[in-house]
Amino acid sequence: MERKVSMPRNDREIMAPSSQIKRRKIDHHPSRRSLSSAAIERHGVSASTKGSTFPVASGSEFRILQDKSSAIAEAKQDGCTGNFKVLDSPFGNFLLPVIPSSTEFSE
């Protein structure tokens, strides 16, 4: 009985017969994205407090922050290149120029 040998079609078949080809399993690393809130509740994972969280402003606080940023933008548009201090109050926002005193100049 004569055995028929086929010619190799690619480099893999040259290195190992098709019955002995082994494939490696790829280890899946844990994903780098953060867990969703549903996953946190399901698995009992505590969320980190060191993340980039921003406090949510209430309606009046949001309005004050909005007025503050528009006042700063307007001052910069008018050519205010010096230092100024922003004071928040329930009556409005105030921009005060910071003028150094003579003692600060002598230091």
46 pLDDT higher than 80: no
In a domain, 21, yes or no: no
In a domain, 42, yes or no: no
Pairing of strands 92-97, 84-89: antiparallel
Mean pLDDT of 91-98: 70
Count of H helices and E strands in the chain?
4, 2
Task: Give the model's pLDDT for residue 78.
Answer: 75
pTM > 0.85: no
36 pLDDT higher than 60: no
Closest listed residue to residue 51, CA positions, set 67, 38, 34:
34
Mean pLDDT of 64-92: 74
Spell out the residues 6+ positions from residue 14 whose beta carbon is closer than 8 angstroms to its own: 8
69 pLDDT higher than 60: yes
In a domain, 6, yes or no: no
In a domain, 28, yes or no: no
Task: Give the model's pLDDT for residue 4.
Answer: 65
In a domain, 106, yes or no: yes
Residue 47's pLDDT band, with cuts at 50, 70 and 90, is: very low
Task: Give the model's pLDDT for residue 72.
Answer: 76
Task: Give the model's pLDDT for residue 79.
Answer: 72
In a domain, 88, yes or no: yes
Percent of the chain with pLDDT over 70: 35
Total count of domains within the chain: 1
Range of the domain at 90: 81-107
Q: Counting Cβ atoms within 10 Å, is residue 55 exposed (0-12), middle (13-18) or buried (19+)?
A: exposed
